[in-house]
Chain A
Amino acid sequence: MEYLNLFIKSIFIDNMIFALFLGMCSYLAVSKTVSTSVGLGCAVTFVLLITLPINYLLDKYVLQPDALVEGVDLSYLSFIIFIANIAAIVQIVEMVVEKFFPALYGSLGIFLPLIAVNCAILGGSLFMQQKEFENVGYAITYALGDGIGWLFAIACIAAIREKLSYSNIPAPLKGLGITFIVTGLMAIAFMSFSGIQLG
């Protein structure tokens, strides 16, 4: 039940895009068509699912005070360890996908290396560190929820932008401006979830 709560909370209430603004850059850049944005969303979810548990274990057994050596607090190194881990994992994922799933690589190819610098991934790890989960199961649930929430948001905005391209918008507002305002309206809609009582 705890897991379900965390899952729902990370998809709707603490949505990566609408509440925390993580991964906005690729969210704005890649959301022109639904198919590519769903592909990117899946890739982000996948990388989150791999990196978050690893970073959780690193944090718990290496970085936290007294974890590795008695009396040594390595937590100031967490940024560099997390980002190194993420960059390495993304590199490995890219190579594995290229070797064994050429079709998937063809459709995701350009996005995969970019995921290393997607704030949603590092942000997920840093928020996870802040939330101090009890075990790795929570970290996996949180990763899945965050990823799906991000996928959901980018798929929605891509669908809206496809429709918007046919509408008559004032010239200065076209493209980026209207995307921001629509995202703002979607964020208002998502605010209604914040009233949900869980547990």
Chain B
Amino acid sequence: MANEKKPGVFTGPLWTNNPVVVQVLGICSALAVTTQMKPALVMGISLTCVLAFANVIISVLRNTIPNRIRIIVQLVVVAALVILVNQILKAYVYDVSKALSVYVGLIITNCILMGRLEAFALGNKPFPALLDGLGNGIGYALILFITATLRELFGSGTLFGYDVLARFVNEAGYDGYQNCGFFTMPAAALIILGCIIWYQRAKNPDLQDK
């Protein structure tokens, strides 16, 4: 949790203190749900909602939770919120819910939640906690979105399921676009995220490892 104070509570996590690429939280789901843009977007929104509400609830309860059992209290609050989100997703966007499979449930153990609850919500008033939750959630969604855009565009030639690349290539007078299957593989997600980190560290030299 480096440089906690420098940027604003809300704007900091968007880029300079991004939860995924700087705080190294919530990598698992960031990699797993990014083969298509639609699941990635839904996942980003779900996590932002859960994080904002959990942050507020824990922040309201912060003086009543005994220190020794706080992890279990946090897990219960988060698990209850995730069950709600899961039921809503199943009811309204069933196909996306299928595509996300167990990764909705894994929001519970998403390190962003535990990390932010421990580092911020337990020591701050509800309103800053809400901003922190929203900021971190959106920062996470941003990384998901970038990765998913690259993976879907080159892996299947589409964006949100619409055929983009093939049409573009055809109009330019070439003979169709051959999908690059590598981008849909797990390995590509890791390498793309590695490159995002590379770019981010190059722009912010004070984050580089010595």
Contact = CB atoms under 8 A, between A and B. Distances in A.
Interface of A: 18-25, 28-29, 76-80, 83-84, 87, 113, 116-119, 121-123, 126-127, 130, 170-181, 183-185, 187-188, 191
A184 B187 contact: yes
A18 B80 CA distance: 30
Contacts of B189: 21, 184
Main secondary structure of the interface of B (DSSP, over half): helix
Interface residues of B, number: 46
A76 B72 CA distance: 19
B109 A83 contact: yes
13 contacts: A28-B27, A76-B86, A79-B83, A80-B80, A116-B71, A173-B201, A177-B195, A177-B201, A179-B194, A180-B194, A181-B191, A187-B185, A187-B190
Given A29-B24, A77-B83, A21 B31 contact: yes
B16 to A, nearest CB: 14
B28 interface: yes
Contact of A184 (B72, B108, B190, B201): B190
Contacts of A118: 109
Interface in B128-155: none
B186 A80 contact: no
Contacts of A119: 28-29, 106, 109-111
Contact of A122 (B106, B202, B209): B106
Contacts of B21: 176
A176 to B, nearest CB: 5
A118 B75 CA distance: 12
Contact of B76 (A80, A116, A181): A80
Given A174-B208, A187-B185, A187-B187, A79 B82 contact: yes
Contacts of B164: none
